[in-house]
Amino acid sequence: MSNRALKCPMPDNINPLYPTNFIFSVHKAPELTFFVQDVNMPDISLGDARYATPLNDIPVPGDKINFGQLTVSFLVDEKFANYSQLTEWMLALGFPDNHQRFTRFQEKQENNLSEHLKTVSDATLGILDASNHPVATYTFIDCFPISIGGWTYTSKATDTTPLIASATFLFDYYTLQTKWDGDPF
């Protein structure tokens, strides 16, 4: 039996990251940024493969990364600008009543984009330190909304709680860049 001592090296920075220090934006929905309340960081998982042996199958790392859904909750502004941007985008993708809605949506997009890029948008989650300086940026590539949550109007409310909605996005993948990766900030 060996006498190995557990070592716990002291990190250079012992400041914790706080969940309130962030800014989130979606290129195709700029009205959303100011009103974002929560961003649920999607999970990431790596599949596995099995190496068969006569005794026990041995798991080995797979070759596909799976990303969860990106969910954002936001205050609905009284002009419905942020909610409308998301619903128009989603309705254009699903064209529930006619194909012209999709065509009009694409015509509003930048002319130099491909047909695919006119339907998706990158999103950015900026992480700030305790002094509100940027320290990291997640970029979600080729997002599109798949769900926009509703809310309840009620005359029973006794306080003035604002309406909060949520939007769920799918995306291809995300990248993470920190200020220590080459100081893009």
75-91 pLDDT, tens digit per residue, is 999 999 999 999 999 99
pLDDT value at position 137?
A: 95
d(CA 145, CA 157): 30
pLDDT band at 67 (very low <50, low <70, confident <90, very high): very high
Q: Among residues 96, 78, 173, which one has the least CA distance to residue 87?
A: 96
Structure tokens given for 24:
């989130």
- Residue 173, pLDDT > 60, answer yes
| Length of the chain measured in residues | 185
- Residue 104, pLDDT > 80, answer yes
Mean pLDDT estimate for the chain: 88
pLDDT band at 30 (very low <50, low <70, confident <90, very high): very high
pLDDT value at position 133?
A: 86
Write down the domain spans for the chain: 22-41+67-181
- Residue 184, pLDDT > 70, answer no
pLDDT value at position 2?
A: 60
pLDDT value at position 107?
A: 83
- Residue 39, pLDDT > 90, answer yes
pLDDT value at position 1?
A: 54
**Topology of domain 22-41+67-181, CATH:** Pnp Oxidase; Chain A (2.30.110)
